Structure 1
Amino acid sequence: MTAPSTAPAPPSRGSRWIQQWDPEDETFWKETGEKVAKRNLLFSVLSEHIGFSIWTLWSVLVLFMGPEYGLTPADKFMLTSMVTLVGAVVRVPYTFAVAIFGGRNWTIISASLLLIPSIAAFAVMKPGTSFNTFLVVGLLAGIGGGNFASSMTNINAFFPLKKKGWALGLNAGGGNIGVAAIQLVALAVIGANAGPRVLLGIYIPLIAVAAVLAALFMDNIASVKNDTGAAKDAARDGHTWIMSFLYIGTFGSFIGYSFAFGQVLTNQFGRTPLQATYLTFIGPLLGSLIRPVGGWLADKYGGAKITLWNYVAMGAATAVLVVASMQKSLPLFVVAFVVLFSLTGIGNGSTFKMIPGIFQTKAVAKGLEGEEAVLYGRRLSGASMGLIGAAGALGGVGINLAFRQSFLSYGSGTGAFVAFLVYYAVCFAVTWAVYLRRTAAQGQAATASEAKPQLSYAEV
């Protein structure tokens, strides 16, 4: 164990670069590292939280946009779809920005960038503005979706392996709650009969505060370097894309429903914006809070098993939504939707828990042992998470486009829910076939070396 005297000290107030960082050194962690890591986690969560709020800003703003704005339901779903798309795409470069600029520096930059879509929305949010103008300004809000990727990458570097699950879960959950937070603030604003600019006027100074706090209290780790080779290797690995497909079903549903729930309530069930907002925040709030529970269940029972049965539950909840939508039963619809939101949170936690175990299994299958196997698994799982996170967010685009087409074709969201039900069924089949299928005949035929990775996949 490294002696306390050799442990790197926290950076001085005048220099926010940490030249040496070894959280696996228990002496360093207890005496220096833990305090610094938790401080960075706190302010990273704040910035990511506001980033999620700005990303999902237009899910709220469209509720303010009555007939005087001249937008159809299809226009509004197209608007939120494109915002979601930008948020998904920017997650890829944001993943690598930490290593280029430093975690603290990029948090300052990414937080400050949120002022652009917020101020632009403040300027154009009025009747008479063209749809194309709203679309361009909405696209700017998509950059808020990237904050998740850079925040997770940054915090991953600060914590030791045994603490990463807790830290990343807290970081992700704290960010996701930004969706519910802006809907709650919108509820207060709508309830006070205030306009959408009041909502923006609340968030603009909060963005500035988050950037200033990041500058004052966060740090850069000098040893964090880009590994483009890991990204290429992860992109070539089939499991990256299989897990992307599954994460589209969980996180894609979470973010897609966050954008669409209020619009479905207003367009299909005739709720006013105030009535819709009373309900819309509940699902994202529960889905965010329960995400760590999905990780905990995956730790205890295996991520693949929890993911498999979670898709069964998601399918059941979606079937209830189809019935509620056809019968125009608002109470049943809301209850089923909130349950589905909660299940997406459990699935988010369980799918992300699977990723390190899958690549650790591949390391063992390749004949690697000990620290070499750990480093291989950590390298590929870390690189794949950025790609999987970006792909998952694309699911939100599909959700909103499906609702748009469903309302154009049938005048309700029923058709979209049927499509989602089919997707969840395919996710169930993929999870079982790739990570859990082990028949007795296969077990007898397989050699010990072949069976070991399959057994590990069942336990990830």
Structure 2
Amino acid sequence: MTPLERGQRSRATVMLVLATVGFGVNFWAWSLISPLGGDYGGRLGLTGFQQSTLVAIPVLVGSLGRIPIGALTDKLGAKFMFPLVSVLTIVPVLFIAFVADSYAMMLLGGFFLGLGGTTFAIGVPFVSSWYPVSKRGAALGIFGMGTAGTAVSAFTTVPLADAFGREAPFVLVSVILAIYAVASYLLLRESPDRPEPTGSFIANTVATMRLGVTWQLAALYALGFGGFVAFSVYLPTYLVNAYGLTGTDASFRTAVFVILAVIARPVGGALSDRVGAIKVLLVSFVATGVFAAIDAIGLPLVPIPTAAFLGMAATLGAASGATFALVGQVAPPNKVGSVTGVVGAAGGLGGFVPPLVMGATYDALGNYTLGYALLALVAFGMAAFTWGPVRTAARRRAEAAAASESSGHPATTDPGPAAPTGRNPS
């Protein structure tokens, strides 16, 4: 390796760390309401569905917001977008801490708190531009560990609120966001290989929506990351309602779930680089369905349901990493941000719906059996989708890429996601 190559690799590592930290800090802010969901529910007299809506609304906005944020990142770059979004997220954090005193005001604050969740669509194109295709799965998996911000929130929010007052965790996060905004503005650098932006914001977004790869990846991520988000925001409420745990105990157990999923994400990305993302996704979805079916039975929390929850954390994390290994490999280089925005939005929406279903079924039936049964069916269906249409499209894309490489002409079709050229995608 030449000194120039070593310098480039070192710079890429620094940029990856900075992006991951920024993602984690903003995700911490994004998740601040969830650990206090039970407290808000009791203080404001909320029903189960209202409580679910309160913790889910930042997920919805953070998901849909990834579409314009991803397209803007393609246009303006992460060096501009990371500081901007970090600063803007401070506003709803402080609003919730010092102004919101009713359910309507909390919903308003939660709506704008969703900004923190959009940073995912900033980091993926930024990290992808710094790494070659053969290493993007692992790099994006490491970046995805920024979801550990949810675990930090679960571990710290309730203890800080109990010790120093309900405003304390919000003030702390605001200060950290401000520090990161300044640091990222000073230290982030765009990759020399970053594609030059072309076309208008609207034209790029429309073109992204027309790509077949976009929608197949969106479906995969809706379950992989959506499942992770759903459990990270609703698990504290579920454990309190279903098993009578204290808020602190429920938050701690949720943090363990999140940490395991975060660790599994780069593992899924690295395995995708080695054995193919289709295999990783297939195994992950089948296992998720089995674990959800176990939890649907309603056994005592320890030991079997706890083991099933931890198993789901690992499989959902691995599936999330595998999906974005595909994004880094098959999305057009000048549209990685736009594709990430749509796929990330699908993942977030996948996390928005389950808490509402869980809350509604609990209000109607007094238990969560139906919710877990539906999750199992969706997981098995997604495994079939992966083995059928996604695997078929992946093989077609790999064959088209190989043919274009041998002929010297780039492929112009988009048959769907695929593994890197020359590797069996399944």
Q: TM-score by structure 2 length? A: 0.85
Task: Confirm whether residue 246 of structure 1 aligns to residue 220 of structure 2.
Answer: yes
Distance 1:92 1:353 in 2: 19
Determine whether 1:95 maps to 2:61.
no
Are 1:188 and 2:159 matched, yes or no?
yes
- Specify the SS of the correspondent of 1:114: helix
Q: Which moved more, 1:66-75 or 1:129-138?
A: 66-75
- Residue of structure 1 in register with 2:425 after alignment: 459
Q: Which has the higher contact order (CA 8 A, sep 6+)?
A: 2
Q: Alignment partner for residue 178 of structure 2, among 208, 215, 219?
A: 208
Give distance in 1, aligned partners of 2:301 and 2:80.
50
Match of 1:152 in 2: 124
Moved more, 129-138 or 294-303: 294-303
Post-superposition shift, 1:53?
A: 0.9
Partner residue of 2:292 out of 309, 318, 334 = 318
Compare 301-310 and 251-260 and name the one that shifted more.
301-310
Number of the residue aligned with 1:336? 308
2:139 to 157, 167, 173: 167
Unaligned runs of 5+ in 2: 394-398, 404-414
The residue that corresponds to 1:280 in the other structure is 254
Q: Note the alpha carbon deviations across 1:196-242, whole angstroms, 9 max, x for none.
A: 21211221211111112112222346865334566444422333212
CA distance in structure 1 between the aligned counterparts of 2:367 and 2:268, rounded to whole angstroms: 32
Change over 3 Å in CA distance of 1:381–1:197 after alignment to 2: closer
Does the CA-based 8 Å contact 2:121-2:344 persist in structure 1? yes
Distance 1:117 1:105 in 2: 20
> How much has 1:437 moved relative to structure 2?
6.5
Paired residue for 1:345? 317
Any conservation in 2 of the 1:265–1:276 contact (CA below 8 Å)? Answer: yes
Alpha-carbon spacing, 1:385–1:258, altered in 2? closer, same or farther (3 Å): same
Letter in 1 for 2:425: E
After TM superposition, give the deviation of residue 334 of structure 1 in Å. 2.7
C-alpha contact 2:69 2:122 (8 A) present in aligned 1? yes
Map 1:38-437; keep pairs closer than 5 Å.
Answer: 38-65=13-40, 67-124=42-99, 129-173=101-145, 175-189=146-160, 193-220=163-190, 224-228=195-199, 231-323=205-297, 325=298, 327-329=299-301, 331-355=303-327, 359=330, 378-379=333-334, 383-436=338-391
Cα gap change, 1:423/1:66 in structure 2, threshold over 3 Å: closer, same or farther?
closer
Please list every run of 5 or more consecutive structure 1 residues that lacks an aligned counterpart in the other structure. 1-24, 360-375, 439-447
1:347 offset after TM fit, Å?
0.7
TM-score by length of structure 1 reads: 0.80
CA distance in 2, matches of 1:217, 1:355: 26
Q: How many residues align?
A: 402
8 Å CA contact 2:124, 2:336 repeated in 1:
no
What do residues 97-120 of structure 1 show as CA deviations (whole Å, max 9, x unaligned)?
A: 234433222211111112111110
* 1:383 CA displacement: 4.3
Amino acid at match of 2:225: F
Residue 29 (str. 1) matches residue 29 (str. 2): no
Asked whether the equivalents of residues 64 and 196 of structure 1 are also in contact (C-alpha less than 8 Å), the reply is: no
Relative distance call for 1:103 and 1:29 in structure 2 (3 A) is farther
Q: Which amino acid aligns with 2:224?
A: T
What is the Cα deviation at residue 389 of structure 1?
Answer: 1.6
Instruction: Please provide the CA RMSD for this pair.
Output: 2.9
Look up the equivalent residue of 1:266 and give its one-letter code. Answer: V
CA contact (8 A) 1:179 1:258 kept: yes
